């Protein structure tokens, strides 16, 4: 795995948390942030789509405007449009300062949701992901894996308004899950974590992975 600091590059480490809706990413981003603060490490947290004014406006269209007809191709381009501004405005400046960047979702979401679940061509998606991110990818993807049924149950229990993708049903989420598992198997910088464990156990597992895979940054 690529520990940027160990390779002697100036670029900071780029971490992405991934997983289905309800997999606990947001909880883990919070726990990891507290841990990074306790280690005195400089970092920035963001989420996709969003984190820029343009990205939040796109988020409003693609996720919250439930009355709009949005074909899969349009949905893809909206997520990618949000990604390009996200990379330029938010990610690159942090990495250029040599600091840690932690994001709730990145390019792997596009493969799982628009590729495996919506059925868009994966080769094309790799190409477009690359275009949108200017060739930038996360150094490490932490993928929280839960069964589709648990995703549905957790979403049903939360008070949050369901967005367009969360309303897509269990079959859709099952495809998303299989997508994440398949992509993770093919990538050398992805680690799948059992998301059915308690938040504390998952957090410890994440720390263990970070200190193992990127010791120069996280092992201190």
Q: Which residues bind ligand TYD (CB under 6 A)?
A: 21, 26, 48-49, 63, 79, 104-105, 109-110, 113-114, 163, 165-166
Q: Give least dist CB 50 to ligand TYD, A.
A: 8
Contact partners, residue 60, CB within 8 Å, separation at least 6? none
CB of 212 to ligand TYD, least distance (A): 26
Whose Cβ is closer to ligand TYD: residue 13's or residue 22's?
22
Distance of alpha carbon 109 from the chain centroid? 6
Contacts with 114 (C-beta within 8 Å, 6 or more apart), sequence order: 72, 75, 76, 79, 120, 125
Q: 17: which residues sit within 8 A by CB, 6+ positions away?
A: 25, 28, 29, 32, 102, 103, 104, 105, 141, 142, 144
Taking the least distance from each CB to ligand TYD, the nearer of 114 and 217 is 114
CB atoms within 10 A of CB 178: 14
Find the shortest distance in angstroms from Cβ 190 to ligand TYD: 16
| CB 28 to ligand TYD: min, Å | 12
The residues, any chain, with a CB within 8 Å of residue 187's CB and separated by 6 or more, are 141
* Minimum CB distance to ligand TYD smaller for 8 or for 71: 71
Nearest approach, Cβ of residue 193 and ligand TYD (Å):
17
The CB-of-127 to ligand TYD minimum distance in angstroms stands at: 15
Please, which residue, 134 or 219, has the CB nearer to ligand TYD? 134
Token digits of residue 161: 């308004």
Partner residues linked to 15 by β-bridges: 102, 140
d(CA 207, CA 219): 9
> Of 190 and 214, which CB lies nearer to ligand TYD in the complex structure?
190
- The full length of the chain comes to 220
For ligand TYD, give the closer residue by CB, 109 or 184.
Answer: 109
Q: Which residue, judged by CB position, is nearest to ligand TYD in the bound state?
A: 113
Enter the DSSP assignment of 62.
I
């Amino acid at each position: 795995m690529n520990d940027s600091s160990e390779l002697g590059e100036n670029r900071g480490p780029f971490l992405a948390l991934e997983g289905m809706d309800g997999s606990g990413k947001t909880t883990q981003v919070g726990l990891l942030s507290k841990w990074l603060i306790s280690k005195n490490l400089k970092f920035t947290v963001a989420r996709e789509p969003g984190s820029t004014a343009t990205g939040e406006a796109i988020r409003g269209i693609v996720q919250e405007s439930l009355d709009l007809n949005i074909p899969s191709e349009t949905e893809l381009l909206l997520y990618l449009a949000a990604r390009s501004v996200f990379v330029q405005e938010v990610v690159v400046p942090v990495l250029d300062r040599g600091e840690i960047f932690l994001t709730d979702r990145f390019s792997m979401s596009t493969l799982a949701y628009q590729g495996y679940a919506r059925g868009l061509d994966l080769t094309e998606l790799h190409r477009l992901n690359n275009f949108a991110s200017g060739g930038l990818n996360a150094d490490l993807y932490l993928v929280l894996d839960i069964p589709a049924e648990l995703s549905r149950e957790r979403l049903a229990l939360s008070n949050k308004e369901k967005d367009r993708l969360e309303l897509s049903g269990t079959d859709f989420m099952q495809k998303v899950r299989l997508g994440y598992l398949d992509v993770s198997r093919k990538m050398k910088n992805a680690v799948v974590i059992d998301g059915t464990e308690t938040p504390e156990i998952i957090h410890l597992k994440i720390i263990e992975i970070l200190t193992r895979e990127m010791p120069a940054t996280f092992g201190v």
